[in-house]
């Protein structure tokens, strides 16, 4: 079930916002510090290939944007890998979602070879470990395993809270820290769920014409529980109702 479509009515708003993806906007924590340090270490990489592995909304694309801003890297499209390999050169590249976007294997193989031969910096991002990539042969896998790999994880309440703060900040929304604590204590613990809840609460608040309140947070949690087929939580709250 779509989290925005249940017996309480469908929200008819499509919100747009521009995520803040500057270097100063990245929230560094225990689960991403090594990956962040790797990006900031460019151009002093001892090996040309870097692989960032992490779930959706873990910060891979944000780090890719920081890398591109620092290095002048080109974001490679799925259909241009062979041409980039043939053209050669040392302009840094970003190849995002390499395990999901159906890149041409031969082109990717040749590009990774060219990177290692000419010391061309390439940043790869993926959700899965190299062993899980949907490849027809082991050629690309063997080259990708030579990349310096970093995992991105959101490991604790503070990082989940920071992610809420950033996502609300991207929307120029101020939210009571107690509401964020309320969410973190009761939500499914994943970076993707933070993104879904932040977007859902923004939609609910717009539909009601109010700020994001405890009641809206509870409503969003309930909708997500229904969407997952889980039992709804008790809407407990330390303090008066905020509506």
- Summarize pLDDT for 210-242 with one digit per residue, the tens: 999 999 999 999 999 998 886 555 555 555 555
For residue 201, give the nearest of 221, 186, 176, 185 by alpha carbon.
221
- Summarize pLDDT for 54-108 with one digit per residue, the tens: 988 788 999 999 999 999 999 999 999 999 999 999 999 999 999 999 899 999 9
Tell me 65's DSSP state. Answer: H
Instruction: Give the separation between CA 192 and CA 3, rounded to whole angstroms.
Output: 14
Place of tokens 């870097």: 50
- Summarize pLDDT for 9-50 with one digit per residue, the tens: 334 334 445 566 778 778 787 788 999 999 999 999 999 999
| Token pair recorded at residue 129 | 């470990």
What pLDDT is attached to residue 3? 42
C-alpha separations of 209 from 4, 26, 179 in Å = 16, 30, 18
Entry pTM: 0.68
């Amino acid at each position: 079930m779509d989290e925005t479509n249940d017996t309480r009515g469908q929200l008819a708003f499509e919100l747009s916002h521009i995520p803040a993806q500057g270097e100063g906007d990245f929230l560094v924590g225990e689960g991403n510090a090594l990956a962040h340090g790797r990006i900031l270490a460019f151009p002093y990489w001892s090996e040309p290939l870097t692989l960032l592995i992490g779930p959706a909304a873990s910060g891979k694309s944000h780090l890719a944007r920081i890398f591109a801003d620092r290095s002048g890297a080109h974001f490679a499209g799925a259909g241009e890998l062979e041409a980039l390999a043939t053209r050669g050169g040392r302009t840094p590249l970003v190849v995002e979602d390499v395990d999901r976007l159906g890149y041409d294997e031969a082109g990717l193989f040749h590009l990774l070879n060219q990177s290692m031969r000419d010391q061309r910096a390439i940043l790869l991002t993926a959700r899965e470990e190299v062993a899980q990539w949907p490849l027809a042969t082991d050629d690309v896998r063997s080259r990708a395993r030579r990349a310096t790999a970093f995992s991105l994880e959101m490991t604790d309440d503070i990082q989940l809270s920071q992610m809420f703060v950033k996502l609300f900040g991207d929307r120029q929304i101020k939210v009571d820290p107690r509401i964020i604590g309320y969410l973190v204590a009761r939500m499914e613990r994943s970076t993707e769920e933070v993104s879904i809840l932040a977007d859902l609460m923004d939609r609910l608040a717009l539909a009601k014409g109010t700020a994001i309140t405890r009641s809206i947070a509870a409503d969003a949690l309930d909708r997500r529980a229904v969407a997952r087929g889980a039992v709804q939580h008790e809407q407990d709250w330390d303090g008066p109702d905020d509506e």
